Structure 1
């Protein structure tokens, strides 16, 4: 590839990937935590149970200290990003973690990462689609339209559902309902992807601009209405809350590794990659911290539990007060910017998920039908449709916290494997050419593994059980099917 990218181009690429929809959606859960009706070991974060040996009825929120959580997450992403950059620079083609892991660490690890990426992309888009639906409901509310709750809320509600006045609509647990807006947006974008209508670079830049504009408008509009008393106590649940908040909000940083995968096109990867990764994380973290500080200053931190659209709902609450009337229009602008940003994220990551399935099928790890290309549209139509329904159906059934956790643990596990891969390859192939080498020997990869595991410990035990169940299913498919059909097995 042509080596045309410098540090500014890489930073712009990274900001476009990181400024996603998480900051408009899961930030409420990260701030307020989750509180269930009954105490259970399954709902307790791993770290809390290991330290205190007690079951909790949910997990603590970070409160205003989410700003600290965001800085911790950015630090971990910086460590892991450098590891990604080294692996990406070791092979002659650009690609995802699955692609270059296959070329460097072998088929089994590649399968695990590929299977994990499916969970990461799916969980991410399920979370975004639920957040998108919540913002659609807010947009309808802005115009005075109020659809029935059973068609705009998930069938499973771990914390129940209340109306704006605080009255119970549904108790916690399963109920008759389906989140139709979340389901429909995924299927609509699936049709777009099957037909091969992809965003141009200019359209993507417009989407990124709208996302940034929505964030900046919210920050500057909120400054006038902040009540400093809402910041006390700053860390209501101590380090446990900060860790849990970081584990929940980690989802919003998915995409920073797009900087590292452009190693092949850098003018000077040894210099430009660290600059691009660090600049991306610094700029995005400043913006995200500003949102967290403003949001927790606007409304009490406890009031955002289970809210899939906390930013616009905070503006809604304030716009109903006499001195908050100007925020009525600010809320509409932020709503539209958030919706466009979510469509952008959904389109990009839904495309990425289907391409992972396509690549795994082409290597023989999944059935051939997943790599079939549509005769007319020249896209992997079957993979795209399967990926669409795999995301759309759970989006209609589950709440945003459950779905975000699946994305977070999948991403963190992939980061652990990539960081370990750097250490293994340093020992196994020390003389192999590296366009970029992580400085400091094994220190940064080891720290990356440690901090990723620390953030994973902030996730509930039930999330770990679901994740291990996902891995067991994947390994079963690999050992009984994929390993006998892969190109390494000589079938192709």
Structure 2
């Protein structure tokens, strides 16, 4: 009954053999899911803030640093995925190495990454969708595309009467569209994601290739602007210089959140021990290269201090006389957010599935649809919660919470892979993390470094959420765990 008990590797292998999920995902299908999770609206927004306020043209270096930091975690994920190719991701890895209480805590906090992340993406999708319709002369009333607080704030700026009721209809509807696709089956979800990924990669390549013809090399001078101290949101921060480049790396890091969602699909991969590690690393490398090229083009088209922070890519093309590109870029951002949302909701239901199989959550979460072989009840529940929260709640600050859950998961996986290598060196490892103790240690330090930069209010909320999770574990999970039934 110890809270530090481990789930035996043999139990994971038994779960894999009796899984009823459809194994239809190839290595490129998994890679596409990774790209779908990583490339979203962030590439069209975060680049402006990071370049304008912190890094200047050296934003490309910030993406290199953030990419390397993520690579540490991705290499650790890849080894675990080859040893334990199950749908629980970081939760399952911790369960087999660190202990049940840590596994539960990670699984509980992954809710912040996936469910909270999908909620914020739904609201962001609504914003881009409304902007896209506006380009075609169609406008939503404020009360029908915002939560009440946001609608009231926007009405005040426009000099309009504040609404007494507001409902974010686009965010509500897109959540249910994605929910329906996920219930229909993993093959349908993967096909939808593949189509969207093709569209947004095509647009990103369009930005890189067409934008390259409008680069003015003098805009890259100086490449690293002189450092200075500034007050941002009441906090003293370093802008520009090498300190600014590092600060920008912590900002653009959050554009990478989601690559770990690949590991949640191991239960539906045809050859998970080889294909999941490949997809994790490949999706991260591909997206890093694209991010670096976009940042170089963007800061070459427009001087960094003249970038529009809210819509840097679209405004860069407008200022260079390519106004028609705004339609394409806005469309790509809308499509990109759709696939991010799809993969996040997919990952959340698979983590719930893994936890329910272990007895830590009710059996409701592991019930599969008799025809589609998807956890339909769990998917409907997740979709319902996300749709309502996205429709009524202002969540501009909540997005940081999903980052906290992700950083914790990354750090724990880096620790766990070193523990497993030490305790179980004899295990078959189709993929082995190179220089595992160096890579794992650097991964832990990098993620702790990023957590240091999170606002104190977010830390307080994170502690409250974590405390609630521990209470749920002792009230339900510990008593219902399947490990209670294993022989001593």
| Bin of the TM-score, shorter chain as denominator length | 0.7 to 0.9
Q: Does 1:85 align with 2:78?
A: yes
Match of 2:34 in 1: 17
1:288, distance to aligned residue in structure 2 (A): 0.8
Per-residue deviation at 1:287? 0.9
Aligned match of 2:11: none
Give me the whole-angstrom Cα distance separating, in 2, the residues matched to 1:196 and 1:24.
Answer: 26
Between 470-479 and 59-68, report the one with greater CA deviation: 59-68
How much does 1:135 deviate? 1.7
2-side partners of 1:148 and 1:378: how far apart?
40
1:69 alignment partner, one of 57, 62, 67: 62
Residue deviations 1:321-376 (CA, integer Å, cap 9, x gap): xx62x431x22233333333322232232122122223222322122333334567
Unmatched segments (≥5 aa) in structure 1: 2-8, 35-58
Task: Measure, in 2, the Cα distance between the counterparts of 1:63 and 1:21.
Answer: 23
The corresponding residue for 1:187 is 176
Pair 1:214 & 2:203 matched: yes
Pick one of 302, 306, 327 that aligns with 2:323. Answer: 327
1:478 aligns with 2:473: yes
Matched, 1:121 2:152: no
SS in 2 for 1:89: helix
8 Å contact kept, 2:203–2:329: yes
- 1:274 shift after superposition: 7.8
Aligned equivalent of 1:460: 455
TM-score of the superposition, structure 1-length normalised? 0.76
Of residues 284, 308, 320, the one that matches 1:281 is: 284
CA distance in 1, matches of 2:470, 2:37: 31
1:92–1:13 Cα change, 3 Å: closer
Give the alignment of 1:412-451 within 5 angstroms: 412-451=407-446
Mapping of residues 265-414 of structure 1, within 5 Å:
279-298=282-301, 307=310, 310-312=312-314, 315=317, 317-318=318-319, 324=321, 326-328=322-324, 330-374=325-369, 379-397=374-392, 402-414=397-409
Counterpart contact for 2:39–2:340, Cα < 8 Å = no
Within 2, Cα distance between the matches of 1:196 and 1:273? 19
What whole-Å deviation, never above 9, does each CA across 1:173-210 have from its counterpart, x for those lacking one?
Answer: x9964433222211222233335485265554332211
How far has the Cα of 1:434 moved from its partner?
2.7
Provide the secondary structure at the position in 1 that maps to 2:211.
Answer: helix
Aligned mates of 1:254, 1:140 — CA distance in 2: 28
Q: Is the CA contact 2:47–2:312 (under 8 Å) kept in the aligned structure 1?
A: no
CA distance in 2, matches of 1:126, 1:456: 21
Pick closer, same or farther for the CA change 1:384–1:407 going to 2, 3 Å.
Answer: same
How many aligned positions are there? 444
Question: 2: CA distance between counterparts of 1:266 and 1:196?
Answer: 19
Bigger mean CA deviation after superposition, 20-29 or 241-250: 20-29
Shift in Å at residue 140 of structure 1? Answer: 0.8
Distance in 2 between residues matched to 1:118 and 1:401, nearest whole Å: 18
- Aligned counterpart in structure 1 of residue 212 of structure 2, from 217, 223, 226: 223
Q: Could you list the runs of 5+ residues in structure 2 that have no partner in the other structure?
A: 1-15, 17-25, 228-238
Question: Which stretch of the first structure deviates more once superposed, 196-205 or 424-433?
Answer: 196-205
Cα separation, partners in 2 of 1:371 and 1:202, compared to 1, 3 Å: closer
Q: 1:33 to 1:292 in 2, by over 3 A?
A: closer
Q: Structure 1, residues 78-122: CA drift from partner, whole Å, max 9, x if none? A: 111111122222236565222343334332222112112221112
- Tell me if the contact between 1:416 and 1:452 (Cα under 8 Å) persists in the aligned partners: yes
Deviations 1:417-456 (A, max 9, x none): 0011122223333333333332224111001100111122
Determine the structure 2 residue equivalent to 1:205: 194
TM-score, normalised relative to structure 2? 0.77
State the distance in 2 between where 1:302 and 1:149 align.
31
Q: Is the 8 A contact 1:135 1:339 kept in 2?
A: yes
Alignment RMSD, CA only?
A: 4.0
